[in-house]
Every structure is written in structure tokens, then in C-alpha cells.
Amino acid sequence: MPVTIRIPTQLRNLSGNAPEVEVEGSTVAEVLKALEARHPGFGERLFDEGGGLRRFVNVFVADEDIRFLQGLDTPVDDGTVVSVVPAVAGG
């Protein structure tokens, strides 16, 4: 059973307007790389030049922020939901 990635509205043009994409992977990094392989363009929007997540990108595994887990090395099981959430700033 694959991992489901929830795609935010702002990035759905990269996924053919799909709100969710299913991919295989055992860590958040593998899942996000699989997303890039299936839908090119996500990598440059999610990762910085050093391979880390961009500051304005938040990723949640089963509603837990990966920054408080194991970061990109956070394990994911089959059937897990990974949500990509862009940070929102106001003023």
C-alpha cells in the first residue's frame, strides 16, 4: 500500500490538479523524491540547494510536523498520509 501525499492548492498545477498523489517510500525524503520523479517541478519548490526543505515548506506525517520528529529521515509506513503545507505569512 503506498503513501498518500496531500498537495496544497498552490502546488496542484504540478500534480495535474490532483489534491493527493500516491507514491512509494519508507522515509519522508524518499516519498518527496518519488513525488518529484512522478511530477517534475516539486523538487525545486520543496528543496533548497543543499537538499533540505525550504524554510517556507512544512511537512506533516499523520498530523505531526517532521521538524519535531526525524526531519526528512522520518519513517513512513504504508497507508501513511504526508501533508505538504506552505507557510503563510501575514502583515
Ranges of the chain with pLDDT below 50 = none
Q: CA separation (Å) from 74 to 42, 47, 61?
A: 19, 16, 8
Q: What is the pLDDT of residue 91?
A: 58
Residue-level pLDDT at 28: 97
pLDDT digits (tens, 9 = 90+) for 62-76: 999 999 999 999 999
75, 3 Cβ separation under 8 angstroms: no
The pLDDT score that the predictor gives to residue 22 is 97
Environment class of 55 (CB within 10 Å of its CB; exposed 0-12, middle 13-18, buried 19+): exposed
Instruction: Please enumerate in sequence order all residues whose Cβ is within 8 A of that of 37, keeping only pairs 6 or more positions apart, or say none.
Output: none
Which domains, and CATH codes, for the chain?
3-86 (3.10.20.30)
Output the pTM of the full model.
0.91
What's the rounded Cα separation, in Å, for the pair 45 and 68?
A: 22
